[in-house]
Every structure is written in structure tokens, then in C-alpha cells.
Amino acid sequence: MKTILIVEDDPILCEGLCRALSSETRRTVGAGSLSEARKRIFDADCMILDCNLPDGNGFDFCREVLRTRFLPVLFLTVRDSEADEVAGLKAGACDYMKKPFSLMVLKERVEKLLRYGESGGVEYESGRYRFRFDTLEFSVRGQAVFLSASEARLLSVLVKNAGKIVSRNTLIDALWDCGEDGISENALSVTVKRLRDKLGGSSIRTIYGLGYLWKGDDE
């Protein structure tokens, strides 16, 4: 059974989300603060996270969690500026939704988070590269490299399609599904640049007008 951790300080909303998202195959766990979330994070298969909590910032907590484990995260918040959305994606979240929200859309996005979580155990080894996506362990020439969850997701899609061109639209849909082209396009470009800086500039090739191609050691 999959477990969804809902970190929301409004007790009525938190209880409503727990009821709405639970099913025969999914259990929900609510947390009204970051201190509660830290106690309940270990069994979670995905997390719905508010940005403003009584004891801290959701962006910082997202980064904290993703330093040590693979966990799909969706921000659900009243903070509706483009800067906030990009900050959430840069913190490593898979998705970002603004309140008020459609429960039907939220359910679909949670399903996507859980499916992505199931595919997180891919391992990749080739030449100088060693990647383990379930534990977020990455190394280049034996040296550990830290990747955010969004960087790891992008890398996972690329290496699964090694030797094939992956379109920008495919990557945007696989990573964020945020529905705002300008934000998605910018976030993708930023994430690709960060990956190249960490893995080597020739590891990901831009195929202009088409998308990106994982080259790895094939330089």
C-alpha cells in the first residue's frame, strides 16, 4: 500500500485532503508542521507540501528531504507567483499547484507522482558514470555528485532513452506537467544547464529544434 504524506497546517484542509486521497491501495498521513513531517516522512511514497508552515519554509524542507532520499514532492500552496513556482521546482519538487485547486486535477497529479516513484529504482553504469536513482546516489569518475530531484528526474528520462532524441515537450511533461509553457521552458533549460555543469558539458547534447540527447561517455 502506498503512503501519501500531506504537510498542511490548516487542519480542516489537511483532514479533507487525507479523506479525498485515501483509497483501498493508498493511505494518507497528515502533518501540520515540519517537525511532525520529519517524524512521518520515512514511510512516505510521495509528499504534498505547503510552502508556509508554522515552523519553517517548505522549500528548505524539500531540499532537506531530497538530500538523503528519493521522494516525489508536489507543492500545494497559495503562493502563486512565477518566482515561487520556479523556486519550488529548483528545490526539487516534481510539481507545483496553486490554491484554490481542482481536486480532480490534484488526484491525477498524485497518481503521476506515485507512478514516478515506482520507476525510481533505475541503475545506470557506463564508463565514468554511476547512477542509482532510488537512493539518489550519483558519481562521475568515482566522485560523488549531488543532484536535486528534478535534475535526477531529467537524467533518468535521458538515460532511459540513451541514443534517442527526447523532445523538450516530452521532458517538460515527464518532469513538471505545470501547464505554463514559459515557466516550464525556463525551468527545463535551467535544469539541463545544471546537469551539464555537474556531469560534464558533453554528456547531454542539444539537438536544435528537436530536443536533447544523452551521450554519456560517447563523446
pLDDT tens readout for residues 97-113: 999 999 999 999 898 88
Bridge pairing between strands 2-7 and 46-49: parallel
Is residue 50 domain-shared with residue 99, that is, in the same domain? yes
On average, the pLDDT of the chain sits at 86
Is residue 101 domain-shared with residue 141, that is, in the same domain? no
Last residue of a domain, one of 79, 96, 118: 118
d(CA 43, CA 171): 28
Q: In terms of residue numbers, what domain contains 26?
A: 2-118
Bridge pairing between strands 204-207 and 123-126: unpaired
**Residue 176 identity:** W
Is residue 107 domain-shared with residue 132, that is, in the same domain? no
Using one digit for the tens of pLDDT, what is the confidence trace for 129-163?
989 877 778 999 999 999 887 788 889 888 877 77
Contact predicate 168/212, CB 8 Å: yes
CATH classification of the domain holding 161: 1.10.10.10
Per-residue b/e over 65-98, b at no fewer than 16 CB within 10 Å? bbeeebbbbbbbbebeeeebbbbbbbbbbbbbbe
d(CA 63, CA 148): 8
d(CA 134, CA 42): 14
Using one digit for the tens of pLDDT, what is the confidence trace for 20-55?
999 999 999 999 999 999 999 988 989 999 999 999
In this prediction, residue 117 has a pLDDT band, given cuts at 50, 70 and 90, of low
DSSP state of 96: E
Judged on CB neighbours under 10 Å (0-12, 13-18, 19+), 143 is exposed
Contact predicate 7/41, CB 8 Å: no
- The pLDDT value recorded for residue 170 is 84
Phi-psi map region of 104: left, alpha, beta (phi>0 left; psi -120 to 50 alpha): alpha
> pTM above 0.85?
no
Is residue 114 domain-shared with residue 29, that is, in the same domain? yes
CATH classification of the domain holding 30: 3.40.50.2300
User: Count of domains in the chain?
Assistant: 2
Is residue 7 domain-shared with residue 111, that is, in the same domain? yes
Last residue of a domain, one of 93, 118, 143: 118
Q: Is 70 exceeded by the pLDDT of residue 180? A: no
Is residue 114 domain-shared with residue 128, that is, in the same domain? no
Side-chain-side CA neighbours of 113 within 13 Å: the count stands at 30
- The pLDDT value recorded for residue 119 is 55
Is residue 25 domain-shared with residue 93, that is, in the same domain? yes
Is residue 94 domain-shared with residue 66, that is, in the same domain? yes
**Residue 219 is assigned to a structural domain of this protein:** no
Q: Which residues pair with 28 in a beta bridge?
A: 4
Last residue of a domain, one of 101, 118, 135: 118
Is residue 89 domain-shared with residue 128, that is, in the same domain? no
Q: Is 70 exceeded by the pLDDT of residue 165? A: yes
